[in-house]
């Protein structure tokens, strides 16, 4: 009865649908051939980006529950209880592919997207972080120059959007590695606050309830974006430019205020952001979650251009739009609110009991398909996995296989990498203080903190991942990303509660990449279980591959923790001359995936030792409890570059010198990266009380030196404080702005 | 009719964007660029065929909104 | 004190401003840009920071034409006190209530950080609780804060004591932050009832936020 559309093979190829998937489509449509609108819908809904078809199998094992978890994965963002009737809503999301093609708009719309995920839940966004990975920016090659251009564009884009929205960007991380030369990673995190009983979900229900479109008009921008980000890059990708969307933060700000005004009323059943795959994914998700049906009149959708067709409306990724399921009779009240904020608003359809998606164009049906098989029951894959061949080679090496390097020379080299030095060039372009809550601002080391005006507490958050660790050991590396983000949060005196993740990997069709992904998920699962910090939201970004080269496995983790007292946020740099610096934990000579091997020998090699979660938890406990008792002046974790680099950073930021003597087996161990260690600053009168607490928790304590003086000296390496500060504060700008 | 308005910083007012572009051009090896000024172009579709009237109207638009005459100059072309 | 805080589409410091004045014991009221009148019995109008109308044409250029700004013009003409912070300063210069204009920062970047300011003139309703030459630590966060005024205008500012604040180091020496003429961070009108500055005193009221120096600035209006 029905005929396949013309040039079916080519159309399927352009929509990245396989023959197998087409057979599924025919089955779902009861043997009828799909039209082009329907093919577009299947293509978007079954893209990696929307369906998580390669990753779902592994994500399903994540721990997602704890007494404080109000909403786990599956909604626009996760929600945790932060006391006194308040909740924190947060999520991290990637915008990698668009940012490589057009860094300013790619990064800007990434921020716009994550902000909508937060305020869709009813929360006002109060803090942003971002985790950025770039390729090699030092050097004169075209790649280096392009990477510097990307850094400037991405930072400008993030700033322009977040600043205009009035949401402070309070921290994050930026690192560099050749593995990102062909695929940069731009991961944006946002956190919002909401009253626990005023949370909104992305659902459509109640037969006859109106479906409303609000926000910007729909244009042809971003057509096929979800399909693009589910594909690898090739030399032809530059011609993909037209599919990058342009952000309008001003309109989003209006949308934010209008939505928050709407949420104070009783008119909304559910609301969903139109992100990737626009109207298609928002409509299918809202109905899919409740088992409802929807009928929508696409000719009612506000259009920015003339001549747009149903296909364009369903697949456009125009920004700053939302889909609302309203209560019947509330239409005019909602229209009034959005018109007050000078936004477009239209009733475009209603909820039905058919469990089907029916789309009409000037009264003519252009799509009719069941919802569940396309959304909630979308096919998932069990892709082949294989342990990567490179692992044997990199795991076989140890630091002893490399030439000996003079410690002073090593120190000077390890102080200067861009991942180590201060990034004021980046964070000074972000408004970090708007909303007047930022108590631990960017540049102050470890976690970032905001106070909560509503309950007098504070939230700490930190985004972390060491891709070198993940490269040499995808499972332990991912687990350590969770651990480090938790440790950073604990160093501010806050108790780590939950994570969101952004899992950036290469091409899942490559079994070795799929193995890395599977292992990474195992690592996150293990760490989150052991540390009791469940996953409440997240995002997967695959196909970060260019010309066959995949990025290092990069599961970025953002941990959120709660400090019961806004006045007890612990700094991470020296506070007072003369106070004692104590090293907590043991230095075991670990150099697997270290900065030491990377910077001195240009390689990423070695192994990661087995990890003791109990020791880690006791370390957190010690710092959190000692801080509550007022025994600590500052605390910082020890990570890349080891004790010597951690002390140097603390010295530079505080403008105070330090002379430290650390007992180590090998002199180079001042650069070792053993886990579960921290440096704490304690005033003389509190040393005894603190020592007793540490002993009770079984944590090894070494008094390594006192704050003060005009140099940084750690065992046999030293530099004048002024020189440390010059390297620390000026290297980044000198590198990134060298072309200007 | 179409009016094309060009808005530039006044002579003598430092143009940081122009300066940056100038510097970048020089570092890319484009010599002999004496000065770079960056401005913006505003294109207005007008619902009139009276050129004189259009010119007067657009001038008023520039003076009120499109340019800040404390720091900016503008030119108007009507086609 | 009763403080009116204006709200334009794109304003984003209105709640911070309300929070700050209320913390100092004053009452505040938000005023929507379409309102044609200011509330009765107010002591101060604050035009807060943000990105009114996205700042897409020029910062502050569209907001100045709103209904509420006509009321503010009248209020200022009658001697009412008006304070413009950041985008508010830009709006007041665009509206002609303050001299000069604000251009893109000379490094072309948005600049957000704690910044020292030196009090240049304190014989006015705003800075009377600060000492002349006193150095204050106040956050800045702007892309278009590069204050420009021609030579003649500058001479007038100086002669009338209209220069309020300059970006400075810890000792009060002027420093170049964004390219402003003689490092000017804030000015007032000749009648000294309209004030504008790029830095954000409302963000500096609490030690846990890094500075309390904004308190005596905002308290100046109590006198």
ipTM rounded to 2 decimals: 0.97
Q: Taking 70 as the threshold, does the pLDDT of residue C165 lie above it?
A: yes
Distance CA B9, CA C103 (A): 9
A660-678 in b/e form (b: 16+ CB < 10 A) is bebebeeebbbbbbbbbbb
Question: DSSP letter at B66?
Answer: I
Question: DSSP letter at C168?
Answer: B
What pLDDT is stored for residue C118 in this prediction?
A: 98
What pLDDT is stored for residue B21 in this prediction?
A: 83
Distance CA A167, CA A192 (A): 10
Determine the straight-line distance between the first and last CA of chain C, rounded to whole angstroms.
10
Q: Taking 80 as the threshold, does the pLDDT of residue A243 lie above it?
A: no
What pLDDT is stored for residue A240 in this prediction?
A: 42
Q: Measured between CB atoms, does B70 come within 8 Å of chain C? A: yes
CATH number at residue B41: 3.30.1280.10
Residue pLDDT, tens place only, C124-162: 999 999 999 999 999 999 999 999 999 999 999 999 999
Task: Describe the strand order of the beta sheet including A495-504 as a list of residue ranges.
Answer: A438-440, A448-451, A458-464, A554-563, A495-504, A535-541
Strand partners, A96: none
Q: Taking 70 as the threshold, does the pLDDT of residue A242 lie above it?
A: no
Burial class (CB in 10 A: 0-12, 13-18, 19+), A472: buried
Q: Taking 80 as the threshold, does the pLDDT of residue C180 lie above it?
A: yes
Which one of C109, C112, C114, C139 would you mutate to disrupt binding with A, by most A Cβ within 10 Å of its Cβ?
C112
Tokens of C182: 């003689």
How many separate domains does chain B show? 1
Distance CA A641, CA A673 (A): 7
Coil vs helix vs strand at B23:
helix
Distance CA A508, CA A734 (A): 38
Q: Where does chain C show beta strands of DSSP type E?
A: 2-7, 27-32, 44-47, 82-85, 101-103, 111-119, 135-142, 146-148, 163-167, 184-188, 194-197
Distance CA A474, CA A514 (A): 11
Confidence class for position C15, pLDDT limits 50, 70, 90: very high
Which one of A115, A152, A434 would you mutate to disrupt binding with C, by most C Cβ within 10 Å of its Cβ?
A434
Confidence class for position A233, pLDDT limits 50, 70, 90: low
DSSP annotation string for A12-43: HHHTT--HHHHHHHHHHTTTPPP-HHHHHHHH
Q: Where does A124-184 show beta strands of DSSP type E?
A: 124-134, 169-176
Question: DSSP letter at A73?
Answer: B
Q: Dihedral (C-alpha) A593, A594, A600, A606: value to the nearest 10 degrees? A: -40
Strand partners, B41: B6
Q: For a pLDDT cut of 90, what percent of chain B falls above it?
A: 53
Q: Taking 80 as the threshold, does the pLDDT of residue A110 lie above it?
A: yes
Q: Taking 50 as the threshold, does the pLDDT of residue A440 lie above it?
A: yes
Distance CA A577, CA A59 (A): 48
What pLDDT is stored for residue A423 in this prediction?
A: 97
Least confident of A373-387, A466-480, C85-99, C145-159: A373-387
Q: What are phi and psi of A346, to 5 degrees?
A: -155, 145
Residues 51-80 of C with CB under 8 A from A: 51, 53-56
CA distances from B1 to A152, B58, B60, B76 (A): 40, 12, 17, 13
Q: How far is C175 from chain A (nearest CA, A)?
A: 17
Query: A6's torsion region: left (phi>0), alpha (psi -120 to 50) or beta?
Result: beta
Q: Taking 90 as the threshold, does the pLDDT of residue A181 lie above it?
A: yes
What pLDDT is stored for residue B46 in this prediction?
A: 93
Q: Taking 60 as the threshold, does the pLDDT of residue A172 lie above it?
A: yes
Q: Assess contact for C209 and A436: CB atoms under 8 A.
A: yes
Task: Describe the strand order of the beta sheet including A364-370 as a list of residue ranges.
Answer: A268-273, A321-326, A210-215, A344-352, A293-297, A356-361, A364-370
- Smallest CA-to-CA distance from C16 within A459, A168, A120 is with A168
What pLDDT is stored for residue A229 in this prediction?
A: 55
Q: Which residues of C are known catalytic residues?
A: 86, 200, 202
Q: Taking 70 as the threshold, does the pLDDT of residue A1 lie above it?
A: no
Q: Which residues of A are known catalytic residues?
A: 49, 95
Q: Assess contact for C194 and C82: CB atoms under 8 A.
A: yes
Least confident of A325-329, A362-366, B31-35, C118-122: B31-35
| Domain span including residue B42 | 2-78
Tokens of A548: 């066959």
Coil vs helix vs strand at A190:
strand
Q: For a pLDDT cut of 70, what percent of chain A falls above it?
A: 97
Distance CA A520, CA A503 (A): 9
CA atoms within 13 A on the CB side of A154: 29
Q: For a pLDDT cut of 90, what percent of chain A falls above it?
A: 89
What pLDDT is stored for residue A234 in this prediction?
A: 58
Coil vs helix vs strand at C214:
helix
Distance CA A341, CA C17 (A): 21
Which one of C10, C24, C205, C210 would you mutate to disrupt binding with A, by most A Cβ within 10 Å of its Cβ?
C10
Q: Dihedral (C-alpha) A431, A437, A442, A448: value to the nearest 10 degrees? A: -140
Q: Taking 50 as the threshold, does the pLDDT of residue A395 lie above it?
A: yes
- State whether B23 and A740 contact (CB < 8 Å): yes
Distance CA B46, CA A126 (A): 44
Residue pLDDT, tens place only, A581-606: 999 999 999 999 999 999 999 999 99
Q: Dihedral (C-alpha) A141, A145, A151, A157: value to the nearest 10 degrees? A: -150
Report the Cα A648 to chain-centroid distance in Å.
Answer: 28
Determine the straight-line distance between the first and last CA of chain A, rounded to whole angstroms.
64
Confidence class for position A228, pLDDT limits 50, 70, 90: low
Burial class (CB in 10 A: 0-12, 13-18, 19+), A362: exposed
Residues of A in contact with B20 (CB under 8 A): 740
- State whether B71 and C148 contact (CB < 8 Å): yes
Nearest to A250 among C10, C110, C209 (CB): C10
Whether the CA torsion A599, A600, A605, A609 is positive or negative: it is: negative
Q: Assess contact for A286 and A270: CB atoms under 8 A.
A: yes
Distance CA A215, CA A344 (A): 5
What pLDDT is stored for residue A239 in this prediction?
A: 44
CA distances from C217 to A638, C136, C145, C209 (A): 41, 9, 20, 16
Distance CA C165, CA C204 (A): 16
Q: Dihedral (C-alpha) A62, A227, A232, A320: value to the nearest 10 degrees? A: -80
Give chains near C: 3+ CB pairs under 8 A: A, B
Q: What are phi and psi of A185, to 5 degrees?
A: -120, 125
A516-525 in b/e form (b: 16+ CB < 10 A) is bbbbbbbbbb
Tell me the count of B-C CB pairs closer than 8 A: 35
Q: How far is B65 from chain C (nearest CA, A)?
A: 7
Residues 721-740 of A with CB under 8 A from B: 739-740
Q: Taking 90 as the threshold, does the pLDDT of residue A304 lie above it?
A: no
Q: How far is B33 from chain C (nearest CA, A)?
A: 21
Burial class (CB in 10 A: 0-12, 13-18, 19+), A611: middle
Determine the straight-line distance between the first and last CA of chain B, rounded to whole angstroms.
6
- State whether C54 and A248 contact (CB < 8 Å): yes
- Smallest CA-to-CA distance from C24 within C210, C223, C215 is with C215
Whether the CA torsion A412, A556, A274, A76 is positive or negative: it is: negative
Residues of B in contact with A739 (CB under 8 A): 24, 27
Coil vs helix vs strand at A705:
strand
Least confident of A193-197, A245-249, C9-13: A245-249
What pLDDT is stored for residue A306 in this prediction?
A: 84
- State whether C208 and A451 contact (CB < 8 Å): yes
Whether the CA torsion A394, A399, A402, A405 is positive or negative: it is: positive
Largest CA distance in chain B: 47
**Per-chain mean pLDDT for chain A:** 94
């Amino acid at each position: 009865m029905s005929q396949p559309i013309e040039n079916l093979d080519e159309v399927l190829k352009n929509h990245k649908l396989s023959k197998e998937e087409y057979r599924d489509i025919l089955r779902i449509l009861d043997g009828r051939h799909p039209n082009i609108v329907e093919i577009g819908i299947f293509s978007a809904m079954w893209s990696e980006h929307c369906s998580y078809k390669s990753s779902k199998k592994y994500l399903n094992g994540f721990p997602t529950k704890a007494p404080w978890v109000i909403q786990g994965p599956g909604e626009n963002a996760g929600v945790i209880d932060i006391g006194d009737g308040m909740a924190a809503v947060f999520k991290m999301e990637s915008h990698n592919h668009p940012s490589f093609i057009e860094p300013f708009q790619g990064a800007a719309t990434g921020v716009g997207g994550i902000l909508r995920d937060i305020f869709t839940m009813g929360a006002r966004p109060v803090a942003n972080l971002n985790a950025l990975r770039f390729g090699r920016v030092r050097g004169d090659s075209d790649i280096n120059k392009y990477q510097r251009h990307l850094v400037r564009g991405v930072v400008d884009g993030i700033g322009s959007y977040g600043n205009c929205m009035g949401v402070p960007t309070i921290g994050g991380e930026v690192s560099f590695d050749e593995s990102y030369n062909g695929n940069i990673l731009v991961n944006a995190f946002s956190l919002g606050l909401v009253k626990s009983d005023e949370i909104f979900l992305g659902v459509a229900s109640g037969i006859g309830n109106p479906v409303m479109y609000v926000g910007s008009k729909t244009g042809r921008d971003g057509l096929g974006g979800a399909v693009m980000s589910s594909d690898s890059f090739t030399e032809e990708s530059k011609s993909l430019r037209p599919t990058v969307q342009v952000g309008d933060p001003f309109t989003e700000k209006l949308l934010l205020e209008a939505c928050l005004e709407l949420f104070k009323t009783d008119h909304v059943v559910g609301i969903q952001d139109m992100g990737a795959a626009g109207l298609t994914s928002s409509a299918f998700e809202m109905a899919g979650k409740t088992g409802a049906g929807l009928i929508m009149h696409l000719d009612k959708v506000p259009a920015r251009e003339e001549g747009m067709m149903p296909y364009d409306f369903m697949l456009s990724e125009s920004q700053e739009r939302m889909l609302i399921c309203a209560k019947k009779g509330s239409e005019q009240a909602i229209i009034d609110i959005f018109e007050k904020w000078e936004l477009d608003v239209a009733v475009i359809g209603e909820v039905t009991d058919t469990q089907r998606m029916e789309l009409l164009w000037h009264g003519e049906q252009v799509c009719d398909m069941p919802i569940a098989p396309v959304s909630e029951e979308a096919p998932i894959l069990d892709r082949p996995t294989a342990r990567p061949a490179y692992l044997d080679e990199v795991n076989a090496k140890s630091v002893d296989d490399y030439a000996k390097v003079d410690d002073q020379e090593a120190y000077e080299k390890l102080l200067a990498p861009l991942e180590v030095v201060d990034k004021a060039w980046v964070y000074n372009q972000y408004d970090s203080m708007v909303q007047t809550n930022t108590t631990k601002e960017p540049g102050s080391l470890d976690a970032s903190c905001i106070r909560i005006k509503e309950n007098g507490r504070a939230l700490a958050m930190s985004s972390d991942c060491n891709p070198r660790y993940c490269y040499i050991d995808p499972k332990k590396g991912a687990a350590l990303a969770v651990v480090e983000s938790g440790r950073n949060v604990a160093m501010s005196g806050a108790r780590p509660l939950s994570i969101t993740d952004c899992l950036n990997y290469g091409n899942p069709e490559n079994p070795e990449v799929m193995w890395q992904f599977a292992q990474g998920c195992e690592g996150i699962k293990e760490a989150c279980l052991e540390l009791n910090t469940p996953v409440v939201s997240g995002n997967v970004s695959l196909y970060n591959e260019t010309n066959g080269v995949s990025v290092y496995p990069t599961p970025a983790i953002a941990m959120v923790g709660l400090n019961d007292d806004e006045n007890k946020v612990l700094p991470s740099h020296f506070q007072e001359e003369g106070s004692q610096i104590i090293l907590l934990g043991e230095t075991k000579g670990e150099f697997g995936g270290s900065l030491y091997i990377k910077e001195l020998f240009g390689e990423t090699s070695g192994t990661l030792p087995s990890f003791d979660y109990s020791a880690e938890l006791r370390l957190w406990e010690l710092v959190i409890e000692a801080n509550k008792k007022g025994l600590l002046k500052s605390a910082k974790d020890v990570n890349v570059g080891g004790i010597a680099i951690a002390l140097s950073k603390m010295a530079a930021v505080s403008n105070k010198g330090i002379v430290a003597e650390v007992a180590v087996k090998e002199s180079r161990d001042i650069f070792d990266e053993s886990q579960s260690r921290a440096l704490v600053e304690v005033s003389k009168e509190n040393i005894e009380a603190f020592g007793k607490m540490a002993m009770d928790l079984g944590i090894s304590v070494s008094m390594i030196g006192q704050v003060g003086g005009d140099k940084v000296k750690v065992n046999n390496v030293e530099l004048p404080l002024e020189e440390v500060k010059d390297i620390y504060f000026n290297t980044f700008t000198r590198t990134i702005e060298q072309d200007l | 009719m179409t009016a094309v308005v060009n808005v530039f910083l006044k002579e003598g007012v430092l143009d940081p964007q122009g300066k940056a572009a100038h510097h970048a051009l020089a570092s890319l090896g484009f010599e002999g660029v004496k000065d770079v000024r960056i401005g913006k172009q505003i294109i207005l579709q007008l619902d009139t065929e009276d050129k004189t009237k259009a010119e007067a109207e657009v001038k008023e638009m520039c003076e009120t909104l499109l340019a800040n005459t404390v720091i900016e100059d503008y030119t108007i072309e009507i086609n | 004190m009763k403080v009116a805080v204006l709200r334009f589409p794109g304003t984003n410091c209105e709640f911070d401003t309300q929070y700050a004045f209320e913390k100092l014991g004053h009452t505040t009221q938000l005023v929507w840009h379409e309102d044609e009148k200011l509330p009765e019995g107010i002591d101060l109008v604050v035009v807060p920071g943000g990105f009114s109308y996205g700042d897409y044409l020029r910062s502050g250029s569209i907001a100045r034409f709103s209904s509420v700004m006509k009321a503010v013009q009248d209020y200022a003409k009658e001697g009412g006190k008006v304070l413009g912070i950041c985008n508010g300063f830009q709006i007041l210069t665009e509206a002609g209530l303050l001299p000069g204009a604000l251009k893109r920062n000379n490094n072309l970047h948005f600049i957000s950080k704690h910044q020292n300011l030196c009090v240049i003139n304190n014989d006015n309703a705003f800075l009377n609780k600060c000492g002349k030459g006193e150095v204050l630590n106040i956050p800045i966060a702007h892309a278009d804060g590069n204050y420009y005024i021609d030579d003649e205008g500058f001479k007038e500012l100086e002669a009338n004591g209209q220069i309020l604040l300059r970006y400075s180091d810890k000792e009060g020496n002027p420093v170049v932050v964004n390219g402003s003429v003689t490092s000017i961070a804030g000015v007032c009108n000749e009648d000294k009832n309209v004030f504008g500055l790029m830095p954000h005193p409302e963000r500096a009221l609490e030690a846990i936020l890094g500075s309390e120096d904004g308190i005596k600035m905002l308290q100046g209006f109590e006198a």
